[in-house]
Structure 1
Amino acid sequence: MPAYSDADVAALNRMLKELRRHPDDIHLRELIALKEWAMESESDDERWTLSDGEPEAIPAKNGEPSDADVDAAMAAKGEAVELHGEGKQEEAIAKMGEALTYNPSNAMYWGMRALYHLEFNKPRAALHDANKALELNPQNVRALRVRGTVNRHLGHWEDSLKDLSAAQAIDYDDKTNETLKYVQSRATHRHRRQLLRQHAEEEAAARRQEELRRQRQMEAEKAAAAAEAQTASGSMPGGMPRGFPGGVPGGMPGGMPPGMESVLQDPEIMAAMQDPEVAPKLAQMMQNPMAAMSMMNDPKVGPGAGGVPPHRGAADGASGSTRRDDLD
């Protein structure tokens, strides 16, 4: 028996309280399982349980019964019919057991004892004998009716419908037809519930798939936005690497030197700035143009250094030295 925690019981009590206040909520799709359970558990005054024991075992008999056995079985069966007519059900069952002892391969005898068991309120024994009869003869009408009736009272609607329909197709009976109508209605009702449950499960699965698709889409959009932001923060317009003057918000200290805009459009300068070794040196040159002289011999920096404009102060100083040299 499953154990229910205090939390389980409390949750169930809360749900029952709400359903008493709002009975129509039982039809909500999310409560379909609870609704099905309630409908399947509705009272049935004619519901049976297989509480009786198995019938008296009949020993197996090798080969075909002898003529004497056949005659003895027929005599016992005749006595059983008389006892049954007198309302002596238990004695009739015993006599049919005797007949089966002589001839256990006779499906009719099994079917008769199954009927007597059923009338004597022994559904387990009746079901046992009906199964035996139908193993020997699948078209034994009496056994089909007995088994169909037992299954009806057990709530096995589909099994009951199958047996009772087969019996009616072989030999129509008004009483059996009434039972068949009831069984058909219950089987149809159960089938509809199964379709509703299947539909609800399919809708739930579709919702889960849609939620998963949206989640993946959101994750992909976030990843794309993060990558775009990383790209934007890692280089300035034109492809200047991080750390290069002007490559971070606010620009380089003191602003970009005059003429720098045109230099940044130079393909050779732009190509050089993509080199992780060259970019820092070019940055240093633009902040300290005097350092350019020491880098002119650098095979990577030299070709691009000539295109970097000197800082105004450095340029003026260099020009002054040149003029003094000229005067000397």
Structure 2
Amino acid sequence: MANLPFGKEQLTQLRAFINMCRTNPKIIKTAELSFFREYLEELGAEIPEVAPTSGHGDGEMPSPTKESKKAEPQPEQDEPKVESEESDVELDMTGVVEPDKDESLPMGELGKEASEEDIEKSNEKKREAISAYAEGEYQKAVDLYTEAIILNSGSALLYAKRGQALLALGKPNACVRDCTHALEANPDCAAALKFRGRAHRLLGHWEEAASDLRDACKIDFDEQADEWLREVTPNARKLEEHRRKYERKRAERELQERLRRAKQAREEHAKASAASQQQQQQQGGGGGGGSPGFDFYSLLNDPDIVEAFKDPELAAAFRDISTNPANMVKYQNNPKVVAAMEKLTAKFSGAGLGGMGGMPFPGAGFPPGAGPTPPPPPSSSGDDVGLD
């Protein structure tokens, strides 16, 4: 060190600079350190090409190390592609159409009784509508069914048949409204269930379609309705399985959360119980003046106290009460213990200790009215317990 032209501090700085160059080689390529780079090249060192930092644009080629760092985040970018439990199920959407706009059509008043004349006229319009539908004149069929509905608004079949014509016009939403109205008039209208199920299928409502078509086949089996049911069943089952899986996982999460909260509550209860127990111990074994951890036995060198506790009964009682002040209740009918505790209270109070750790005995004291009235303080002779 003595032969070097610089001190220990400069040597430490040089070592730190070399370590920095190892971890960040592009420092050597800065203009300020060109003299150092030239010196290294004169010694035969090969300075590796390093990638330029963002915004510098010095045209240097990227190093393999930099390329590997760029490649590292790719797994994280792929993670969102993993399907979550709430993600959509892969369904066959072939044949699904764009929903039609709302179209207000006369619905009539359900439950309204029509006269025989109106019913006859309504049936005539219905026959004309059936002929128009058969000829492919679907809009004409809708108009005729509307006239029939106005004449006889309580017929569920008229709404279902108009729904069929609306379906042929590519208006599945309007069909759903008509068929739903029909089912309000007659919940067992198989035609309304059939055509509404088909409309739901065209809207991509797979579960609703399966439910309607299944019910329609139960009420009045129809080969076309059965074919439509088999068409929607695969997608409906996928959605049902997906929903059950999601609900099961949600139930598991809720159970785990309940268990976590229960565990947290137990831990908090245990902490509170431990703190309460510690506080009770400090109060039971604490010293005068409210100082935690006061040792009663450090004060038992008083000759009167020593003499008093030569009595095994008093010594045991004092030890029991010192452990837990609540145990004083066990001795409230023992005049000897009560009198001894009163004298001890006087001793400690006289010493400026402010009582004995909050122990509940007379004077510091028994609950009012608890136990027998303690005997009056003994005479100065201390014949009762030997506290002369």
Normalized against structure 1, the TM-score is what? 0.61
Output one character per residue of 1:156-186: Cα deviation in whole Å (capped at 9) or x when no partner.
4444333211222344344432331343334
Q: 1:130 to 1:308 in 2, by over 3 A?
A: same
CA drift of 1:120 comes to 0.5
CA drift of 1:261 comes to 6.4
Name the structure 2 match of 1:54.
104
Moved more, 39-48 or 130-139: 39-48
Quick one: which of 346, 365, 381 aligns to 1:278?
346
Q: 1:207 to 1:274 in 2, by over 3 A?
A: farther
CA drift of 1:275 comes to 6.5
Q: Where do 1:108-147 residues align within 5 Å? A: 108-147=157-196
Quick one: which of 377, 384, 388 aligns to 1:299?
377
Name the structure 2 match of 1:150.
199
Output one character per residue of 1:128-155: Cα deviation in whole Å (capped at 9) or x when no partner.
3323433444443322211112233445
Output one character per residue of 1:177-219: Cα deviation in whole Å (capped at 9) or x when no partner.
2331343334433333333333333333333332333333323
Q: Where do 1:163-174 residues align within 5 Å? A: 163-174=212-223
- Runs (4 or more) in structure 1 with deviation over 6 Å come to 40-44, 59-62, 257-262
Q: Distance in 2 between matches of 1:21 and 1:43?
A: 26
CA drift of 1:305 comes to 9.6
Name the structure 1 match of 2:272.
223
Q: 1:301 to 1:55 in 2, by over 3 A?
A: farther
Q: Distance in 1 between matches of 2:185 and 2:343?
A: 92
Name the structure 2 match of 1:194.
243
CA drift of 1:232 comes to 4.0
Name the structure 2 match of 1:242.
287
- Conserved? CA contact 2:110–2:153, under 8 Å: yes
Bigger proportion of residues as helix: 1
Q: Which amino acid aligns with 1:278?
A: A
SS in 1 for 2:89: helix
Output one character per residue of 1:63-99: Cα deviation in whole Å (capped at 9) or x when no partner.
44335x4554444333333332332221222222233
Q: 5+ residue gaps in structure 2?
A: 1-73, 319-336, 353-375
Output one character per residue of 1:265-299: Cα deviation in whole Å (capped at 9) or x when no partner.
53447443477732415868xxxxxxxxxxxxx93
Q: Distance in 1 between matches of 2:254 and 2:156?
A: 50
Give % identity.
23
- Conserved? CA contact 1:281–1:301, under 8 Å: no
Determine whether 1:176 maps to 2:222: no
Q: Which amino acid aligns with 1:88?
A: E
Name the structure 2 match of 1:39.
89
Output one character per residue of 1:85-133: Cα deviation in whole Å (capped at 9) or x when no partner.
3322212222222333444444433322211111102223322332343
SS in 1 for 2:103: coil
Q: Distance in 2 between matches of 1:202 and 1:307?
A: 73
- Conserved? CA contact 2:197–2:213, under 8 Å: yes
- Conserved? CA contact 1:50–1:124, under 8 Å: yes
Q: Distance in 2 between matches of 1:301 and 1:220?
A: 50
SS in 2 for 1:299: coil
Q: Which amino acid aligns with 1:146?
A: F
